[in-house]
Amino acid sequence: MVARRRNLRLGENERRGVHLVFSKLPGGAMNAIMNLLTQLAAVFTISKWTWWSRAIRKPAHRGRVGPAIKPWAIVLHTTDMLPGTFDAIVKSWTTTAGVGQCANFLIGRIPEQGVVQFISIDRNSNHAGGPTHGWFVVDGKKVHPNSVSVSIEIHNAGQLRLVDGEWRSWDYQHKQPQGDPFDPADVEVDQHRPTRGWHRLTQYQHDTLTALLADLEAVLAPMPANVTIESNGPQTNQWAKVASCRIVGHVTLDPARKTDPGPEVMREFAR
């Protein structure tokens, strides 16, 4: 059951009355009452949620939903798929089991697509596994990332290539470009490889991710004191490294196979 936020508000006349009463109390009594009111305010204004109020709720196929967890970290992903595939992703994740992978959230590129939540944040969304994967390490003990983290997918084409003067998504299976060319304004050029680039977030995605991360911070469990990351290979991208383990990228855990969510997301949101 999702707790709902309750607000206690006083009108101007009520606030003046409270101030008048408090002004006549001894200092110690007034401080005690103020402390009590502060604690009561916290009870009424802080709510633990598992389904985000700003998201469109579309439960995932049960074959994609894992067991209960108590998350203290966030893993950021990009879909690395063409812009027109958003509806197909939603349909697949809600109607088929696939191989079990999913995400708690999927942020569309435009307000009309919105942000979809498939799985409550207290359930494993099977987002960072595979035959090889990285680990969180807590006090020397390996912890599977899926068992302690909320996953956020951002709908984005990911890494792009400059082909015949146009930025294109790359089909790695058939080794050829796919889809329509991208507007150069929507591409962040790789500083070290000018023929490679990254699909930029939209303003809607930036704003939505900012809001979602802020709300998650209020409800996640505290991060353990001694946490490190054991990735599955050398981390060659400096932008993929993080100072702590609260918000990481898929590439942070799995540099041998993944590059998502790319430098823009890591630079602005990971920590």
Q: What is the mean pLDDT of residues 223-246?
A: 95
Q: Which residue has the higher pLDDT, 170 or 3?
A: 170
Token pair 């707790």 is found at 3
- pLDDT digits over 179-193, tens only? 999 999 999 999 999
Spatial CB neighbours of 187, under 8 Å, sequence gap ≥ 6: 160, 167, 197, 198, 199, 200
Q: Using CA atoms, how far apart are residues 215 and 99, in angstroms rounded to an integer?
A: 30
Residue 5 pLDDT grade (very low, low, confident, very high; cuts 50, 70, 90): very low
- pLDDT at 20 > cutoff 50: no
- pLDDT at 56 > cutoff 70: yes
- pLDDT at 232 > cutoff 60: yes
Total count of residues recorded for the chain: 271
Q: What is the pLDDT of residue 27?
A: 57
Beta strands in 3-72 (DSSP E): 56-57
Would you report the helix, strand and coil content of the chain in percent, each value rounded to 5? 30, 25, 45
Across the chain, how many H-helices and E-strands are there? 6, 14
- pLDDT at 66 > cutoff 70: yes
- pLDDT at 46 > cutoff 80: no
Q: Using CA atoms, how far apart are residues 150 and 155, in angstroms rounded to an integer?
A: 16
Q: Which residue has the higher pLDDT, 42 or 71?
A: 71
Is residue 28 classed exposed, middle or buried when 0-12, 13-18 and 19+ CB atoms within 10 A define those classes? exposed
Ramachandran angles phi, psi of 194, nearest 5°: -65, -10
Q: What is the pLDDT of residue 28?
A: 60
- pLDDT digits over 110-162, tens only? 999 999 999 999 999 999 987 789 999 999 999 999 999 999 999 999 999 99
CA-based radius of gyration for the chain: 22
- pLDDT at 10 > cutoff 90: no
Residue type (1 letter), 220: L
Residue type (1 letter), 242: V
